[in-house]
Amino acid sequence: MFLLVGLGNPGPRYQMTRHNLGFLLVDEIARSWNLPAESWQEKNDSLCAKAKYKTSEVLLVKPLTFMNLSGKSVQAWMQFFKIPKEKLLVLVDDVAIPFGTLRLRPGGSDGGHNGLKNIDSLCGNGYARLRLGIGDATSPVPMESFVLEKFSAEEQRRLPTLLAQMAECAASFVDKGVQETMNLWNGKKL
């Protein structure tokens, strides 16, 4: 079984904010895989749904613990289904990458992202991260505020296409693995 975890914050206040990109991406994956709405349930401090992609079972997860405690849910699902780190993909925003740029890595640092930091502390490192840039080097707003702002009108216009492409990348991870998916997607203009 694969575990695809989108990071975000629960509740209407955070919908369509930059920091909720992981939740938006999980929703797009579920939509593109025609997952029925009734597939979702609340368990292990998360919204989750089992899906099938080609021949693989996939658990889609949106932790409900708020960003800084995302690892609690990830750890619970990994232990419950005995999912190895090689089959974990965390879907996350990244303020250090320009908006619309995708980056997949088989591991690495948390890059100052509190959700990844918490997952690392509870589950260790060595799992794949699919990051989509939300950064704006020209923004005068402090980073903590910037990530919790709603997407700009221009970003909202581009978001459906970006999410669809990221969903394809996540599907490729399940189908082809991290190395081949990195070769296909990293550096690709979205």
Give the length of the chain. 190
Q: How far apart are CA 190 and CA 184, in angstroms?
A: 12
Catalytic, out of 2, 8, 9, 19: 19
The tokens of 44 are what?
């292990």
Give Cβ neighbours of residue 3 (< 8 Å, ≥ 6 apart).
58, 59, 61, 74, 77, 78, 81, 83, 87, 88, 89
Instruction: Based on the residue annotation, tell me whether 19 is a catalytic residue of this protein.
Output: yes
Which phi and psi angles does 115 have, rounded to 5°? -65, -45
Residues taking part in catalysis: 19
